[in-house]
Structure 1
Amino acid sequence: MPVEIDLLPVGVAGLGESPLWDHRSKRLWWVDSTGPTLHACDAEGQNAEHWVLNQPIGSIGLAKEGLLVALADGFYRFDPDGAKLVPIAQPEMAPATRLNDGKADRCGRFLSASMCTGANVRAGGLFRLDADGGCERLEDGVTIGNAICFSPDGDTLYFADSMDGILRRYDYAGDSGTIGPRADLVDCRDQGSAPDGATVDSEGYIWVALVLAQAVACYSPEGQLLRSIPLPLPYPSCPAFGGPGLDTLYLTSIANSGHRLVADHPDAGRITVIRGLGVTGLVEGVYR
């Protein structure tokens, strides 16, 4: 079936990331990582609001109250009404790294990966934030951590280091938040790109932003490429399902990442909206 592709009529980000549909307030959230600005609007891009924060924003998640925000140096709770940040935890990170992509699991934890901001490659990791504020490092040797998402039953974690181009899978224990051995699922370089952000639909298929190929790809849990949809904007960065029926796919994009990725498209940094995919997303997990 043909799909309908539009641009959301709101906001331009320098480094758009972490779209997040809040099923409770019926709002779409996303960030301009280097703004550093947190944005929100309704499903159609109306009633927009924004908040300027005090350091680069890696990612956001739903929290029991407000939002969970992974800033450069750690995890915070954000109250949109009071525009207040409350520190939760600071993981032990190597110098010249910061938190990047992140997602809540199905059991109330939040996972976030770090990225290297200098020449110290492979110094990043994957971290788990527990409900009591404790942090545990789950993986090492990461340069740009991305593509964090979970299978519908929560038993599988997907994750990527964009610099090696591989979408990985891990068994994930919901009761403890521990991971099994790494298994390489997809080499996204076969599609001409590293993987950036990712999400999972209600059938368990993985949707990955192919940042260098100007496309979003859909893979089966076994790693088979099922669809690849060309996009109107360069450097798509992260997808998320949202809208009242969870049947709209929103994709942030990059205008200027602050290093390698700089776009000259007049609409670079806006959000692409895809309707008519014939699939629905999942309600996002909530950090508790």
Structure 2
Amino acid sequence: MALQVSRISATAAQLGESPLWDAERQRLYWVDGVARRVHAYEPARDDTRHWDVPSMIGSVALVQGDALVVALVDGIYQLDLGSGSLTSLFLPEPRDIRVRFNDGKVDRWGRFLCGTMGVYAEPLGQLFRMDAAGAHTVLADGIRISNALCFSPDGRTMYFADSLDRAIRAYRYGPGDKPDREPRIVIDTAPYHSGPDGATVDCDGCLWVALVQVGKIARFTPEGTLDRLIDAPTDLPSSVAFGGPDLSTLYVTSIKDSGSGRAVSRHPDGGFLFAIEGLGVTGLPEAQFRVQPNSFPTRTTS
């Protein structure tokens, strides 16, 4: 079956990232990091809407209720989709203006993980994990650009990358305190002339990775073998996520101008959101961040 590619968004994002399918609402979320905006798209109604946030945004995640977890420059917040108000969940102290939050995902046990990165790609970033009670743990440090965070179907393997290493590492993982401190390199993207950007895992446990520097999307087996390599709809694909009623549609975000000078598209469709159908595989439902009532101090902004 030939692949079918559709351009979904009406306008281009500057820095499209973090596609996220909400199976309960049959809705796709994604962000424009530079424009400081969260977008939503409901295919059944062909309806779009958006919410503006006060700073650059790296990623979003599902949470119970009519809300999202959002990773802004300085910390992790909950965005109320009804009012648009923000409640802080985790603000690292002291604040380090040399870093910002970037790629984030919820693990199979309902904890939210998010990596920071050096604003100028210095090795200052950390990978944080936040649990339902509000406690946080640092899982890795010395990160330049945090990306490719995702989990195996059983949750027992965590995948994570510093994009400038051009490699994705696999960590033994589980419901305990910390993952493996000596991860193995499972995917080397250097032969494909790109660092890994956003990634997701399908129902077979294979990783789909946006190879942002070469305009490709790759599928790798859990052992790291390249299974498929397809052309992205534009030259700078930034992340991927499965969605749709049967989770068989691959949504692809892309970059028009990242604002840092590192990624500027030369393609007329740079920055748009796309859907690819006909891949013959399905994804997995994304987990929700589990929040215990009254676990977080109340600090709300509009």
Map 1:239-258 onto structure 2 (within 5 A).
239-258=240-259
Q: Are residue 160 (structure 1) and residue 161 (structure 2) matched?
A: yes
What letter is aligned with 2:234?
A: L
In the other structure, the counterpart of 2:32 is 32
In the other structure, the counterpart of 2:264 is 262
Output the CA distance in 2 between the equivalents of 1:69 and 1:47: 21
What letter is aligned with 1:33?
A: G
1:209-241 Cα distance to aligned partner (Å, 9 max, x none): 000110100000000000001022111000000
In the other structure, the counterpart of 1:96 is 98
What letter is aligned with 1:265?
A: H
In the other structure, the counterpart of 2:4 is 4
Could you tell me whether the CA contact under 8 Å between 1:8 and 1:44 is conserved in 2? no
Could you tell me whether the CA contact under 8 Å between 2:19 and 2:253 is conserved in 1? yes
Could you tell me whether the CA contact under 8 Å between 1:43 and 1:242 is conserved in 2? no
In the other structure, the counterpart of 2:64 is 64
Q: Are residue 217 (structure 1) and residue 199 (structure 2) matched?
A: no
Could you tell me whether the CA contact under 8 Å between 1:13 and 1:255 is conserved in 2? yes
Output the CA distance in 2 between the equivalents of 1:10 and 1:45: 15
Could you tell me whether the CA contact under 8 Å between 1:94 and 1:123 is conserved in 2? no
Q: TM-score, normalised by structure 1?
A: 0.96
Deviation at 1:46, TM superposition (A): 2.1
What letter is aligned with 1:109?
A: R
Q: How many matched pairs?
A: 286
1:174-232 Cα distance to aligned partner (Å, 9 max, x none): x2252012110111111111100000001100000000110100000000000001022
Provide closer, same or farther for how the CA distance between residues 61 and 177 of structure 1 changes in structure 2, counting only shifts above 3 A.
farther
1:22-77 Cα distance to aligned partner (Å, 9 max, x none): 11111100000111000001136821101110011010000012111111111111
Q: Which structure 1 segments of 5+ residues have no match? A: none
What letter is aligned with 2:192?
A: Q
1:94-147 Cα distance to aligned partner (Å, 9 max, x none): 44100000000011101111111136x111111101111111110011000000
In the other structure, the counterpart of 2:227 is 226
Map 1:162-201 onto structure 2 (within 5 A).
162-173=163-174, 175-180=175-180, 181-201=182-202
What letter is aligned with 1:261?
A: A
Output the CA distance in 2 between the equivalents of 1:88 and 1:167: 28
Q: Which structure 2 segments of 5+ residues have no match? A: 291-302
Indicate the SS of the match to 1:5.
strand
Output the CA distance in 2 between the equivalents of 1:11 and 1:171: 40
Output the CA distance in 1 between the equivalents of 2:275 and 2:153: 23
In the other structure, the counterpart of 1:86 is 87
Q: Which 4+ stretches in 1 moved above 6 angstroms?
A: none
Could you tell me whether the CA contact under 8 Å between 2:69 and 2:77 is conserved in 1? yes
Indicate the SS of the match to 2:47.
coil
Could you tell me whether the CA contact under 8 Å between 1:17 and 1:32 is conserved in 2? yes
Map 1:44-55 onto structure 2 (within 5 A).
46-55=46-55
Could you tell me whether the CA contact under 8 Å between 1:115 and 1:124 is conserved in 2? yes
Indicate the SS of the match to 2:268.
coil
In the other structure, the counterpart of 2:41 is 41
Worse overlay, 260-269 or 152-161:
260-269
Output the CA distance in 1 between the equivalents of 2:274 and 2:41: 14
Q: TM-score, normalised by structure 2?
A: 0.92
Identity of aligned residues (%): 46
Provide closer, same or farther for how the CA distance between residues 213 and 177 of structure 1 changes in structure 2, counting only shifts above 3 A.
farther
Output the CA distance in 1 between the equivalents of 2:228 and 2:177: 31
Output the CA distance in 2 between the equivalents of 1:55 and 1:275: 33
Output the CA distance in 2 between the equivalents of 1:246 and 1:79: 26
Deviation at 1:264, TM superposition (A): 2.9
Provide closer, same or farther for how the CA distance between residues 262 and 45 of structure 1 changes in structure 2, counting only shifts above 3 A.
farther
